Structure 1
């Protein structure tokens, strides 16, 4: 399935929401309510950014009178610099530091690949420097041989600033066939019988059949993979070092090489979103294509209703089954997979994203102009999760519209003040609030009339169940 990539400019201090950088559209960033920067040394148009989400790069140009920085170095005004994933952009040199982030992140080219390419270039060129070049490559390859030896041991990695943890046990090898499993409720349950473990030792293997089944799959050419949601890590309820130790002991108990993906919070990596699987495909399977016809996912979050088996509770979620549906993978519950039980009835959420029409126009009627040729005010109407902010950040902010949002400013009075300041500066304004009633809309319409500018109302057509799905 095609991966939709996004690019963000994220403040390292999280003083404001990440700024979306649409594909091949110029975005100007500087002092103002979006960045929460009030320092007049930072121009309102301090930098221009243009992301290429296909090439994983962002062209950056300093526009303001004061020097910007990239990765700690000053950059010249009006010259274009190319930034990659995780590069740091300083709106003022050494201050207001932001990071370029692609979601999902790019595949990291290994040193082995780089060294082989370097070696080929050296061999193709017959110059006096050939000997020194080959000697340099040999040293690098010797270093890499040591790294390969290290890879024969158990290894933990952090991806995307700790949003994803990956444990690769000794002797894990990349395969085209993937046997993927949830962890809690699928591979282990609590020894105490509690829903949540009382400590990091409160676990046991769910079924005695599990180790033998995984060993059989491993012998039959499958790579064994675990994928687990652990939002408690981001909330601070789960200690990372203790959870890592728990995973290592679980894998050791099972007795086969396993690669474990741990989503530590909300977002793209959390099931049923495909982030963990994409990381496996793009970064952790050495480029070996995965055969989706024989690969599968097994998990207990399967959407089964109460009493799907005698005295069995309703599944707490359907996220494991939905992940498999999103990816086009075969799916089994633990009972079906390990105990050979018949499939139990299940119920999926009422909203099905894949059933949405794919050829719907952005606006209705379709010939409506998105951007006005003159200064205007756009007032959004829509429930939380209906897509107002995404629409604004994707289509209007890059076109120069000033973004007014009550969630950021705190009150409608501050929204009015911010709106008037933008209009006085000659900018169009978009009011990104729910604005559910006539009274809430009227106050902004009045300001538009006061400034003698056009005013349009954009009503989101997102259904309530769709909005609830987005707002999880």
Structure 2
């Protein structure tokens, strides 16, 4: 029996670390940072692989719209093949070859008895796989059910659950995906909502450091299940991508929690910072499309319970919430929100704080400049110095507006240094062209370099300040992340450095005028606008 199974890239130019295929767990792989596949021809969900350590085989199902490859032949969407050790598949026909590797390697010289046993495992596994096919209807038992809530939940769980995990690019883990559909959803966060640490620590010391939060929790969930609700857990588990807990351990922990609750449930686990992380709606969107048989959810009857509710510190006993992610998630998916105390204990709601930046308040009809009568350009030749947070929209403003008016862009990230920006500015202003300094320019020192050079050439210098707050800039950065933008992602340290260095621009620095540039979004389509106006930040 194998101890491990990997899929290994055999393209040396675009090689990545081998990807572990856990035993009897479905793994969905495709275009991602993990596989280093960037072409849009390869879907993010291109192949589905399920390893069987007992028989040294991997079930390969091609699920992407464009053909894959195996043994020189194209593999169409929906085709299923059985792979063995050292077999090679191509994510796209002729491209991105990957090899199946078992560790240890299968023993080709097994005794006849051992080979017969292995063959028997093969046959039984095939039968099990066929009997659990998505397309095969579940036959309900006609036996009269015990009407106690314990027995109802246990028996319905048996009839409607598959108790398996599926892994989507190591970004989303889904438990019990094929659980019976339902239009009423009782949705819950995990940590701080259904469970807490047994040790009393803020963070668990290991995978077994947990206990049910309140004694009322199991009974409440069982009653909701009896009343026709589906129980679904939506949890952020960033520790997985950071290596603090393994995929296998978080899966085991969640299954143990569900078993302890004594009620059938689904679970969706976001393991990274991508589109599935709350408060963004990625996990909910996946649930609607893949985990409820397409049945429309009754939002009036459904609700979400979580402890990240934006409540401030009231006393030493009641510390402030670590974020508002759960409350904002519920707002984003448009269902009722409750805290664990309100839901399980019947307590009254506590005060809470909403984020400083409200995305839905962004107005795409406002004038670009303040004052609105601002002339751009104003002088025969001028230098415009931009001031604004990373992610405030400076480069977009330059591309959509100033370049069309004949400005030459000087961007430190593109040409390497502020000295080169000054040289470029001097070159083009001598040729009678406008120049825009497209950097963050937070303080007087960074701005003075360009002002001094322009003044030496008697060129007027204007300041264009992007009227975008810190939280708004962070929102823009997060929007780029969840929509797959090619922009470089900005970490928290960069924002903190800008904030610490920032000095308000003034005319005394040598500017002829200071113009506020309003944030006027330009959306590619209505879906991009919908996403932008959701709460994307956790605080």
Task: Identify the residue that residue 182 of structure 1 maps to in structure 2.
Answer: 189
Task: Identify the residue that residue 38 of structure 2 maps to in structure 1.
Answer: 98
Q: 1:148 aligns with which of 134, 149, 152?
A: 134
Matched, 1:191 2:198: yes
Matched, 1:251 2:251: no
Compare CA radii of gyration and give the structure with the larger one: 2
Tell me how far 1:445 sits from its aligned partner: 6.8
Confirm or deny: 8 A CA contact 2:173 2:271 kept in the other structure.
no
Tell me how far 1:369 sits from its aligned partner: 9.9
CA–CA distance in structure 1, aligned partners of residues 474 and 224 of structure 2:
39
Which segments of 5 or more consecutive residues in structure 1 lack a partner in the other structure? 1-10, 15-84, 89-95, 115-136
Structure 1 residues 97 and 399: CA distance shift in structure 2, 3 A = farther
Deviations 1:262-290 (A, max 9, x none): 22222432222222222222333332122
Matched, 1:158 2:167: yes
Confirm or deny: 8 A CA contact 2:31 2:46 kept in the other structure.
no
The 3-state SS of whatever aligns with 1:306 is coil
Q: 1:201 aligns with which of 193, 208, 221?
A: 208
**Superposition pairs of residues 199-348 of structure 1, within 5 angstroms:** 199-307=206-314, 311-348=317-354
Task: Identify the residue that residue 387 of structure 1 maps to in structure 2.
Answer: 393
Q: 1:466 aligns with which of 468, 472, 476?
A: 472
Tell me how far 1:200 sits from its aligned partner: 0.5
Structure 1 residues 422 and 354: CA distance shift in structure 2, 3 A = same
Confirm or deny: 8 A CA contact 1:335 1:341 kept in the other structure.
yes
The 3-state SS of whatever aligns with 2:323 is coil
Structure 1 residues 185 and 393: CA distance shift in structure 2, 3 A = farther
CA–CA distance in structure 1, aligned partners of residues 226 and 341 of structure 2:
22
Aligned residues: 355
Tell me how far 1:464 sits from its aligned partner: 4.3
Confirm or deny: 8 A CA contact 2:454 2:460 kept in the other structure.
yes
Confirm or deny: 8 A CA contact 2:386 2:464 kept in the other structure.
yes
The 3-state SS of whatever aligns with 2:472 is helix
Deviations 1:215-274 (A, max 9, x none): 222222222211112222222223222222212222222222322222222243222222
CA–CA distance in structure 2, aligned partners of residues 192 and 326 of structure 1:
34
The 3-state SS of whatever aligns with 1:100 is coil
Confirm or deny: 8 A CA contact 1:154 1:167 kept in the other structure.
no
Tell me how far 1:455 sits from its aligned partner: 8.6
Confirm or deny: 8 A CA contact 2:189 2:307 kept in the other structure.
yes
Structure 1 residues 458 and 170: CA distance shift in structure 2, 3 A = closer
Confirm or deny: 8 A CA contact 2:162 2:178 kept in the other structure.
yes
Confirm or deny: 8 A CA contact 1:12 1:98 kept in the other structure.
no
Structure 1 residues 183 and 459: CA distance shift in structure 2, 3 A = same
Tell me how far 1:433 sits from its aligned partner: 1.9
Deviations 1:397-433 (A, max 9, x none): 999999765467774346557889999xxx9986442
Matched, 1:169 2:176: yes
Structure 1 residues 179 and 404: CA distance shift in structure 2, 3 A = farther
CA root-mean-square deviation: 5.2
Structure 1 residues 291 and 325: CA distance shift in structure 2, 3 A = same
Tell me how far 1:353 sits from its aligned partner: 2.5
More moved, 209-218 vs 335-344: 209-218
- TM-score, normalised via structure 1 length: 0.59
Deviations 1:370-414 (A, max 9, x none): 99xx99986431023433356568888999999765467774346
Structure 1 residues 443 and 355: CA distance shift in structure 2, 3 A = same
Confirm or deny: 8 A CA contact 2:188 2:194 kept in the other structure.
yes
**Superposition pairs of residues 440-459 of structure 1, within 5 angstroms:** 440-441=446-447, 443=449, 458-459=464-465
Deviations 1:429-470 (A, max 9, x none): 864421134553454578899999999754211134534665
CA–CA distance in structure 1, aligned partners of residues 294 and 46 of structure 2:
10
Tell me how far 1:178 sits from its aligned partner: 1.6
Structure 1 residues 443 and 306: CA distance shift in structure 2, 3 A = closer
